[in-house]
A and B are shown apart, each in its own frame.
Chain A
């Protein structure tokens, strides 16, 4: 397997190209176990370079599977460690991370799971992964003040101004729209409610916020997601309520506003200059 060392006397340009090739060949062979290992490796005792190269292949795959396992714990619990790791291995091979910040890794893991045939028997698995990813992103989002219920009380003192208020939503806020009861399933794994009692076929809109430094989720009432998304587009409160009502006639403006007040959803009330 060992190739003789090339004779010296190359110009620096050739050397640069050779080195570039060495790492490119290494990278390609790392991610595709079907490829032969790079030809330009040597071992001191003539032992098989393929076995040694396999250490790197294993490090890359196992460390990334570990990262997913740590970031998607409920998803893993739902299908068991063995199944999860086999599924994660396939994901890693086709979707390696683009950034060294591994807390961002897995943005498309939920989509992958939904297309992963062996997981089809657990239709809500992708939605649960979506919720877990949103919780991680909320955890690492920027710090910003939270307007708490006491902060809202002053606004309620002037109800005539409420309709035109706009809000800057908190950077740690996220809305996840699930086709299945992913938030209830997630909560049952954290001691809230019983898994057996959940109708997993019920769609859930989930609000993720970080009111007290820890990311938390709550299930939004029908229309609640449209309400939050409209506020996120900086529409005034009255307009956001109208949008929610037109999407869900049963939407209760008071409870929608209640979520805004109690979930730590708002970081700033944008007060418009009133024209005289």
Chain B
């Protein structure tokens, strides 16, 4: 009898505990995962946890996760003769149980679209048809588009899709600031900058047509963007959003106009909403987040204050501190995280290299809340600690550098690092 009442008490307490959990939890979609100790050496907000899917897949760039949980990581450098690695978690503990390296090319971006795996190389975009969501044993590669060979500058190509059969591709600039003499002190800007005809913007292509070229099939959708690595389509407002890498070396190239402290912080890294025909000002202007305006670049006669050359250019939605390299963008549409995350934007910052002699900064994943379709200026650091406990003087010292983001079918957030290719799966735990 005594035993029975204890049993009953435990049962009731159990039910009570369960229902309490239910109330604290915004959704009932938590994965059945156990977080790694210390969350794989990153810091997360309360009630979030992370498992390390794999700790060294190779030099990771971007990542895509399929409906069946298959994870594809695009590599910057081939490993095991492959430029993509497919990771499978067979037993559902969040850890990769197998890896398969395939395709010979290397590159940055990778996405799943209409039953295909799309991936970019610096000079083209390719795809493989999956069979029932699986990579076939005898896969074949199709060429969606090839681009003029680019041997230097911002060579990586990133892309995304809208819901109307279009694909948007970033063409980064070759130069830093379109100077007559590359990265040379006091050298004026080429005017007009010839790069804008074929680079430093977003070009639109068909998502399905094979063998397209930039010249014949590409449509210049937006211009004046120095370099993009992260772009994503927002289904809420059916609009393209991107993150721009701002220019370098204001004080080295124009020491009379800018101090090293100014160069450390300027110009802003930019979160942009991109509509057809937009111009964001590069190379004629850059965005000063302290004055909250675009100012004329010194190569075009700017003194850091006036905005003569910036008429008609569009401002960023959010301006981040300089040089932190926003390398991926993801609108969160899952049901797993609390409500505030729904339809907000995660941005993976790769971390800076040209803040020296000051410490490097920005090796983290940021969250930008959206309210009624507009981003909040109060962005917050969501995941931090990737670089390790000691100050980073040079990027090589960072233990890990976040570079790619993906959302899993259950709403988990995946982050991939570019140093060794560590992959985290971040999930919301019951409170």
Whether chain B is bound by chain A comes out as no
